[in-house]
Amino acid sequence: MIVITGSAGFIGSALAARLNEDRFFDLVLVDDFSRPDKGANHVNLTFSQKVDRNDFFEWLDLNESQVQFVFHLGARTDTTEQDRSIFDELNLNYSQQVWNRCTDFGIPLVYASSAATYGGGELGYKDSHELVSQLKPLNPYGESKNDFDQWALKQNELGKAPYFWAGLKFFNVFGPNEYHKGRMASVVFHTFNQVTATGAMKLFRSHREDYTDGGQTRDFVYVKDLTEVCLFLMHHRKSESNGLYNLGSGQARTFLDLAHATFDAMGQERNVSFIDTPEDIRDTYQYFTEADMSKLRSIGYSRPFASLEEAIEDYVKHYLSSGKRWTTPNA
């Protein structure tokens, strides 16, 4: 059995679809399955059972001998949420329980961290363990992810860790199955919808003199590339490779690049204007991110990442234009 927490969400359901493509069907999907807007993400997947996230630890205690791997991707990901207690419960405490059980039961673990841990990027974007305690995330979400990374590293030092584990610092992920994410969906998703509705796209204006409007730069990574890394780590499982890893494309691109690529994939004339960045996120807005991918490459991951243009063309033409999800028909 392969367990995927957060399996009704964006990345979790995409990973389940990719596992199905490689004929892994003995999947245990863990999440809060009460949201109808997430239902289409998993309705056509092949899996063994669904487990409510509140029942997961009881289930795991009873079934641990059958579990070969855990992907812990479930989290509260709203970067505008300011209630720290929500992140303490879902991102920190829950993750600690997952970690402890994987340690006790001898189950390898891959969990989702975030590039939000890097804050404003003052220390760069290198996934060095020595830098983790010095990082200053810009919001409670990033803080919760960094708090868990620090805790995990401490447990590892104490010998209280799964025999194989990896924490993946996801950068700006986009792709199929994010329809339910609302404001937190990718800019590709919002660009497609705005262009469809109005023929134009409004990007956030720069509020820094050293960046032009639309020149804000991020490391955008396609969710299909992310799932390939997850499969690599599942097969890799070498204890000497335990630790934190960046997961981006390794190539920063501007939001204007992204918008233009979306127009092009849609066959539409480029029409971009700018609006002020909302005040509730303006002070914590990242103007540059770029993943240093050398650490992942050093343990043998050699597959190339899709270019922004290639990824957006696939996303627009095979998913957004038809409203399809990335799922696999039942075997």
Q: Where are the domains of the chain?
A: 2-174+220-250+289-307
| Given 111, 118, 125, 141, the catalytic residue | 141
Measured CA to CA, the distance from residue 51 to residue 157 in angstroms comes to: 32
CATH code assigned to 2-174+220-250+289-307? 3.40.50.720
User: Of 181, 202, 211, 301, which is the active-site residue?
Assistant: 181
Separation of alpha carbons 94 and 291, rounded Å? 27
Give the mean model confidence (pLDDT) for residues 18-30: 97
- Sequence length of the chain is 331
Mean pLDDT of the chain: 94
For 69-123, the pLDDT digits (tens) are 999 998 765 555 566 666 667 778 899 999 999 999 999 999 999 999 999 999 9
Query: Is 301 part of the annotated catalytic residue set?
Result: no
Task: Please give the pLDDT value at position 331.
Answer: 41
pLDDT of res. 78: 56
179 has catalytic annotation: no
pLDDT, residue 76, reads: 65
Contact 3, 67 (CB under 8 A): yes
pLDDT, tens digit, for every residue of 200-247? 999 999 999 999 999 999 999 999 999 999 999 999 999 999 999 999
CA-CA distance, 97 to 92, in Å (whole number)? 9
What local confidence, expressed as pLDDT, does residue 284 receive?
Answer: 79
146-172 pLDDT per residue, tens = 999 999 999 999 999 999 999 999 999
pLDDT at 269 over 90: yes
- Confidence (pLDDT) at 85: 65
What is this structure's pTM?
Answer: 0.95
